[in-house]
Amino acid sequence: MVKLVSPTPEMKPSDLLELLGMLDSALIDTWLDGGWGVDALLREQTRPHRDVDVIVRVSDVPELRSILELRGFGLKEGSPPNSFVLADGCGLEVDVHAVVFDDAGNGVYRMENGQDWIYPAEGFAGRGLVDGIEVRCLTPEVQVLCHAHGYEPVAKDLRDMEHLRARFAVELPPHLVGPRE
């Protein structure tokens, strides 16, 4: 059996696909957000990743934690079941954003500050590729929406947003416009 951890703190595509495969085998629907979500939409890895941001149902969190604990991932920070980070001994991280779907299909995510963030229902229709394997991810528009609120973007975030603008012609708010490549 392949170990999920990499010898360096870089989550390789094979690591990510193994993780997603384990969750899929447990019938845990998972959507990629953040850097891996952007790269999946672009259908290529544009930069190294130390972590993966995933969106899952709150009801799936106990099973997700159980599966990842078997692979050496323990709670690093946050408050399960809503917003938390799991890390392994090699420095890889799984940043979990757990949602409850409302009647309209929106994902209601309780943030660490106690406020709710709403992932629009249409955002869960995203599909991308990681090493040629189809994965669920947020749509380009909702990726931009997520990056536009809640935190100060760093250089890698600006590059990710620029890639989405170039590939999908999504409009970026001024604070997400980074250097053109």
pLDDT of residue 179: 53
Q: Which of 54-58, 78-82, 103-107, 172-176 has the lowest mean pLDDT?
A: 172-176
**pLDDT at residue 122 above 90?**
yes
User: What does the mean pLDDT of the chain come to?
Assistant: 91
| CA distance to 32, 71, 90, 130, per residue, from 3 (Å) | 21, 8, 12, 18
Residue 150's pLDDT band, with cuts at 50, 70 and 90, is: low
- What residues contact 98, with CB distance under 8 A and at least 6 apart? 55, 56, 57, 58, 60, 61, 80, 81, 82, 83, 109, 110
Tokens read off for 133: 């394997």
Mean pLDDT across 44-67: 97
Question: Residue 25: enclosing H or E segment and its boundaries?
Answer: helix 13-25
- What residues contact 174, with CB distance under 8 A and at least 6 apart? none
Residue 178's pLDDT band, with cuts at 50, 70 and 90, is: low
More confident residue, 28 or 155: 28
What residue spans of 31-154 are helical by DSSP H? 34-42, 61-70, 140-148
Residue 164's pLDDT band, with cuts at 50, 70 and 90, is: very high
Taking the model in full, what pTM does it have? 0.91
Are 34 and 138 in contact, with CB atoms under 8 Å apart?
A: no
Question: What is the DSSP code (8-state) at residue 122?
Answer: G
Looking from the CA of 71 toward its CB, the CA atoms found within 13 Å total 26
- Give me the residue label for tokens 């009801």: 59
Residue range 62-108, pLDDT digits in tens: 999 999 999 999 999 998 999 999 999 888 999 999 999 999 999 99
pLDDT of residue 174: 72
Relative orientation angle of helices 155-168 and 34-42, to the nearest 10 degrees: 30
Question: What is the DSSP code (8-state) at residue 91?
Answer: S
What fold, for 13-167?
A: Beta Polymerase; domain 2 (3.30.460)
pLDDT of residue 1: 39
Beta bridge partners of 57: 99
Distance CA 87, CA 137 (A): 21
- Give me the residue label for tokens 């392949």: 2
- Domain borders along the chain are 13-167
pLDDT of residue 120: 97
Residue range 18-30, pLDDT digits in tens: 999 999 999 999 9
